[in-house]
Amino acid sequence: MVHLLIVGGSDAGISAALRAREVDPALEVTVVVADRFPNYSICGLPFYLSGEVPDWRDLAHRTAEDIERQGIHLLPEHVAQAVDPAGKSVTVVGPAGKARQLTYDRLVIATGAVSARPNIPGLDLPGVYLMRWMADGMAAHRHLAERPPQAAVVVGGGYIGMEMADALTQRGLAVTVVEYLESCLATLDADLGQVVQAELERHGVSVATGVAVEAIEPRGAALAVVGSGGLRVEADLVVVATGVQPETALARSAGVATGLRGAIRVNRAMETNVPGVYAAGDCVETWHRLLNAHTYLPLGSTAHKQGRVAGENAAGPEGAGGQREFAGSLGTQVVKVFNLVAARTGLREHEAAQAGFEPLTVETEAWDHKVYYPGAHKLRMRVTGDRRTGQLLGAQMVGRRQAEISKRLDVFAAALFHGMTVEALSDLDLSYTPPLSSPWDPVQMAAQAWVRMEVV
């Protein structure tokens, strides 16, 4: 019997296991899980901390029992330490501290990423949390329940930082966000990031941009965050959300090559340079569909897709090589910040220019549905296309939560995936009823505004 061993029990690892069993129900599949939370939604932690998801168990995409019913053997609380590719074995250490060898015929490495640890003294003080794993979220939740804090500082103005500012404000804390760059959500254009900042401030969040955090210091029973420009903010709790870095120590022990940001190099079949070893998820480089090259884009949605490809190929006939290819990422992202939603897909203007396109970006405002029907909200949309070919290159969108921002951005993402021109968006047969849209959906209005500007 062929044995597929998967190291990592989050999005990519479980997706690989499930797909492998679909392809070959006779395959023996074992998943090594470093903690006791296989297939949990780490993305859901801010909503657990806010109280919107009262029970942490509800964050499970599937229960362990659900997974094992698919014929997948789970090894929770086992840490993989080294791979011997010649002997096709992995050394793991269980909860009792005892090491043992697991053999495999094929191996999928899905070790994910770890929180980036900025060079800030005080990161290990009690009350400071790097929000990456379930254990991080549960520790912060205990802090909120047992020592109800009054104030919090969120270091980092990216997606997780925005969600944590929202969550902790909902818990009744006075929140300060400290961001090194000049605007929050640096994956959006700066003026759109300022719209998000205004929403934070409207809900009482203090925002300090262009500030480098220099230290976190104990201040009696509390903490003080000290930064450039004289910043000093006292808090009972500090969340550090300054990005992630790929976890590749296990892969490197097997001689697996790494590349951008130290991430594992894979081809589009998710194969590494070591025969029989695949990798997927936040630990690997990501093929970008528009750039036609690899980059590093750690996203849960991408990890699921990559894991599925790795699992299907690992389950294929011995020596046949990968038959399925990862179709590529567009960097599609969305975040809710209080009553606002901000989203992007594809390339921004400066990214498109760096990639050799001749970009034009046009901004449009439109009502999310017919204004005569109550509750209409305006959307800000920004479309980037190539002047020479008319090809759609990217889109950004900010608006009220009720305005279906994410699904409208998904129209742009689908068009990007299929290489459509901006003008062709007007031909799409999109749904319409006055309470929900207009005969020309706002997506199409934005496309038409780009076309008008392009021909000027």
Which residue ranges form the domains of the chain, and what is each CATH number? Answer: 3-114+244-314 (3.50.50.60), 128-240 (3.50.50.60), 339-454 (3.30.390.30)
- Cα–Cα dist 1/131, whole Å: 40
Q: Over the stretch 407-447, which tens digit does the pLDDT of each residue have?
A: 999 999 999 999 999 999 999 999 999 999 999 999 999 99
Q: Determine the angle formed by the axes of helices 159-170 and 190-202, rounding to 10 degrees.
A: 10
* Residue whose structure tokens are 């019913």: 69
Sign of CA dihedral 128, 133, 135, 140: positive
CB 46 within 8 A of CB 167: yes
Six-digit token pair at 157? 């103005």
Query: Which of 193, 3, 219 is CA-nearest to residue 104?
Result: 3
Q: How far is CA 176 from CA 55, 119, 124, 208, 238, in A?
A: 27, 20, 20, 8, 10
- Cα–Cα dist 346/332, whole Å: 7
- Check residue 318 and give its pLDDT: 62
pTM of the model: 0.94
Confidence check: pLDDT of 387 > 60: yes
Residue 323 phi, psi (nearest 5): -100, -30
CA dihedral 210, 345, 270, 353 (to 10 degrees): -70
Query: Which of 442, 456, 292 is CA-nearest to residue 382?
Result: 442
The angle formed by the CA atoms of residues 353, 266 and 84, to the nearest 5 degrees, is 150
What is the mean pLDDT of the segment spanning 114-140? 93
Confidence check: pLDDT of 220 > 90: no
Confidence check: pLDDT of 33 > 70: yes
SS3 202: helix
- Check residue 319 and give its pLDDT: 45
Q: Over the stretch 149-193, which tens digit does the pLDDT of each residue have?
A: 999 999 999 999 999 999 999 999 999 999 999 999 999 999 999
Percentage of residues in the chain having pLDDT higher than 70: 98
* Residue whose structure tokens are 């999005």: 11
Query: Which of 346, 341, 324, 331 is CA-nearest to residue 415?
Result: 346
Residue 218 phi, psi (nearest 5): -70, 140
**Which residues, in sequence order, are CB contacts of 93 under 8 Å at separation 6+?**
78, 79, 81, 99
- Check residue 317 and give its pLDDT: 73
- Cα–Cα dist 283/286, whole Å: 9
- Check residue 320 and give its pLDDT: 52
Average pLDDT of the chain, as a whole number? 95
DSSP codes joined into one string, 401-417: GGG-HHHHHHHHHHHHH
Count helices and strands in the chain by DSSP H and E runs:
11, 25
CB 355 within 8 A of CB 290: yes
Q: Over the stretch 237-278, which tens digit does the pLDDT of each residue have?
A: 999 999 999 999 999 999 999 999 999 999 999 999 999 999
In DSSP terms, 84 is beta-bridged to: 89
CA dihedral 289, 295, 297, 300 (to 10 degrees): 60
Q: Over the stretch 326-352, which tens digit does the pLDDT of each residue have?
A: 999 999 999 999 999 999 999 999 999
Residue 31 Rama label (left phi>0; alpha psi -120 to 50; beta): beta
Residue 177 phi, psi (nearest 5): -105, 130
H or E element at residue 335: strand 333-337
What is the mean pLDDT of the segment spanning 194-212? 97
What count of Cα atoms within 13 Å lies in the side-chain half-sphere of residue 302? 26
H or E element at residue 454: helix 442-454
Confidence check: pLDDT of 391 > 60: yes
**Which residues, in sequence order, are CB contacts of 364 under 8 Å at separation 6+?**
380, 381, 382, 383, 442, 445, 446, 449, 450
